[in-house]
Structure 1
């Protein structure tokens, strides 16, 4: 049984279309819903998929051909039918016959993630790669997943380019395992144009007697768009200005800087951050209460023991371990701050997973330090350091990003003096730490210069009352100003 490959029904305002890219060739086995060919119109690119499993037995219209809606452009035969031989164009680089084609697939996505985006291809078609080499980064709402080469070989067809939305386990490219590239034949000017222009643009170039080498492409990788061709034609038709006589000397004029703007799409992470911040603002009764803490006791303690601590535990003694310890103790005393709202229920947690806000090149993320109450100072410092490194390198896992009962964010590292942090749903509270700055303070009737830091606690007033929020913040202040209490549990 054979199945016809047809051009989709074209929009009402579109008269015809162009066969842009065949992703298969005669003799290839295909599966149901596999993308076979891209059809390009003036407005959109339409994907044609296989209706049944089978073998490509005929391709009636090659790339660049003009076609009509519902026109038959190929045939899929039964899988046991041998395809008729078809003449194929020689390619610039082809794998040896011994190569085995391996699909490059999107990893299986976590249960809560519907789709992902092809973030960055680290290789290009025809490039030789080695086993376990990172080929492409797949970005989800929360993490970046790396796809590595399963075998040594050569990159074949890249099906989905950067920015495409893909699903879990979807094929986005091919790897010719064990292949080596054949010698590259000298390409003609017309063939070179195929790489930098789509079929519709090549047709426009031909209609106006132009070649790809004559038009400057402004797209990615120097690709030529219809706008580039039209701009070239307009510039050619514009009359050349006659040479002007040299103007008389005048006062020097300062040239104005070139005004420009750049438009880039939001990353998935940035979109997720934006949506969650709006959700937190619109769905909670958020208030912020402030206090300040004298950091001199902690700074003196660090100065006294930081070298010995680093020598003993092979990690630096920072401020975050004191913050986490103080927060954990305060959460034990105020269970409502460690709770969350789920519908009409209040969920109280008997564990202490602390989210630590980490700034990364992709945006702000909040990985979770699990069971912080069971960690010592060195364990907290090592845990935070590992999470920060993974966040910077984009290697945080879904498990490290989910959960958390309370968040600590430290804007002081960027110089923030005071702020109102926003809730990290579904948590009920977040603590903001800030810049440590010397200020004159009244101590026992005298003015002393002390290193002070503002604390800001934002909380959901639906769950946490004012008395609890103030008491929680005062507890943290007292523990930080007398760090020995953290060790004595008093």
Structure 2
């Protein structure tokens, strides 16, 4: 018999939330087969089975938060008894109870009224009639009631959107999703107008990820000497370079974006400004010999910052491919703990929004984060003449304990030179 634990997916992980089991009691399970979906304070991920056999019991219900390494289920041979001390969830009797304890006589439950066709549909869809709200004139369950319940069950929605809909009694089938591949997001539920009566506050459950974001942002602001500076940069030539690279997209094997070019420039900047890739401790400053590039990504379940490890070893094409891969994994909730750990430097790009200038919060314990605003065509002085150029604001937030303003000025100067003359960082 093998115990199923809440996995410890990182050194700092203290607890995890079981979002849902992917197997039912009695189902066959293979070693390393996804058996459940869990949520930590950083990511949502599928956890794999620690052994092969039959899922004998579940000790934890969907939506329950438990400490790491706590036993939450058992896998073993068919008919094998689980420990007598195990407390299974109410809808699953323990093996010892099933074999040793005499069944207490129970009053027969009144059969649920449902049409024959409704019963057939419910059985095919795997839906318990007790979970269906009847709409028949005599209180019976009709086929349309089963179809509505089935639609709600199969609606594509994030876990937070489902929680918000459940708390506020919103029917997900009435909502059009705007998330990745049409998935219903929290904001879709909140914006539906059905989330709460007029004048009533909408209740938004605090997920582990949202709580972690709040905690980390607060701690970063209050544990470091953060300050920010910004500079306006001419990105006309960078945009022209990007257009040229697009014409070679098939040959390059990737679609180079402005964000790829900005990220590559930032990685090259670190070669001459290593303190931008460092962290502060009470006794020393650690300057890392590698660049693990983190990029802020907005997802349906909140902000996450996946990491491209050893970005300093990559060509522009390799970095572009790595960034695209990690963003897709983030939005599809397929990030591993390795994808979320070890960052030494971060970039964040608000270019898709009407945001010109912003001060990003520096993630602890990093020493520097660079933010990029939108690109805007505007009058500017170029080679002694006023003309229309494409401009962008670059913002740097840094830990003043690691370096002073003058050093940050040199960082911004280097970034300005690279971005305004992109051939410089391409040949380095």
TM-score, scaled to structure 2: 0.67
The 8 Å contact of residues 324 and 372 in structure 1, kept in 2 or not, is answered as no
How many aligned positions are there? 322
Q: Shift of residue 327 of structure 1? A: 1.2
Cα 1:343–1:313 shift into 2, 3 Å: same
Asked if 1:410 corresponds to 2:330, the answer is no
Q: Secondary structure at the match of 2:363?
A: coil
How many angstroms apart in 2 are the aligned matches of 1:285 and 1:377?
33
Structure 2 residue aligned with 1:435: 374
Q: Shift of residue 113 of structure 1? A: 1.5
The 8 Å contact of residues 9 and 337 in structure 2, kept in 1 or not, is answered as no
Structure 1: any 5+ residue segments left out of the alignment?
Answer: 1-100, 180-186, 198-212, 214-220, 222-255
Mapping for residues 84-123 of structure 1, pairs under 5 Å? 103-122=3-22
The 8 Å contact of residues 119 and 138 in structure 1, kept in 2 or not, is answered as yes
Mapping for residues 236-385 of structure 1, pairs under 5 Å? 258-308=198-248, 310-385=249-324
How many angstroms apart in 1 are the aligned matches of 2:279 and 2:316?
27
Which one of the candidate residues 449, 463, 472 is aligned to 2:388? 449
Q: Shift of residue 158 of structure 1? A: 3.2
How many angstroms apart in 1 are the aligned matches of 2:361 and 2:397?
7
Structure 2 residue aligned with 1:229: none
Cα 1:307–1:342 shift into 2, 3 Å: same
- Higher mean alpha-carbon deviation, 471-480 vs 312-321, is at 312-321
Mapping for residues 472-487 of structure 1, pairs under 5 Å? 472-487=411-426
Asked if 1:171 corresponds to 2:71, the answer is yes
The 8 Å contact of residues 307 and 340 in structure 2, kept in 1 or not, is answered as yes
How many angstroms apart in 2 are the aligned matches of 1:262 and 1:175?
41
How many angstroms apart in 1 are the aligned matches of 2:204 and 2:48?
27
Cα 1:283–1:147 shift into 2, 3 Å: closer
Structure 1 residue aligned with 2:331: 392
Offset from partner CA, 1:181-208 (integer Å, 9 cap, x none): xxxxxx953598xx999xxxxxxxxxxx
* Bigger relative contact order, structure 1 or 2 (CA pairs below 8 A, ≥6 apart): 2
Structure 2: any 5+ residue segments left out of the alignment?
Answer: 80-106, 113-127, 131-140, 142-152, 154-195
What is the RMSD of the two structures over their aligned residues, measured on CA atoms?
Answer: 3.1
Cα 1:261–1:125 shift into 2, 3 Å: farther
TM-score, scaled to structure 1: 0.59
Q: Secondary structure at the match of 2:232?
A: strand
Offset from partner CA, 1:50-108 (integer Å, 9 cap, x none): xxxxxxxxxxxxxxxxxxxxxxxxxxxxxxxxxxxxxxxxxxxxxxxxxxx86543334
Q: Shift of residue 176 of structure 1? A: 7.6
How many angstroms apart in 2 are the aligned matches of 1:168 and 1:329?
40
Mapping for residues 71-90 of structure 1, pairs under 5 Å? none
Cα 1:400–1:147 shift into 2, 3 Å: closer
Offset from partner CA, 1:115-149 (integer Å, 9 cap, x none): 211123345567x5775764421111223331346
How many angstroms apart in 1 are the aligned matches of 2:215 and 2:129?
37
The 8 Å contact of residues 418 and 434 in structure 1, kept in 2 or not, is answered as yes
Mapping for residues 184-199 of structure 1, pairs under 5 Å? 188-189=108-109
The 8 Å contact of residues 107 and 145 in structure 1, kept in 2 or not, is answered as no
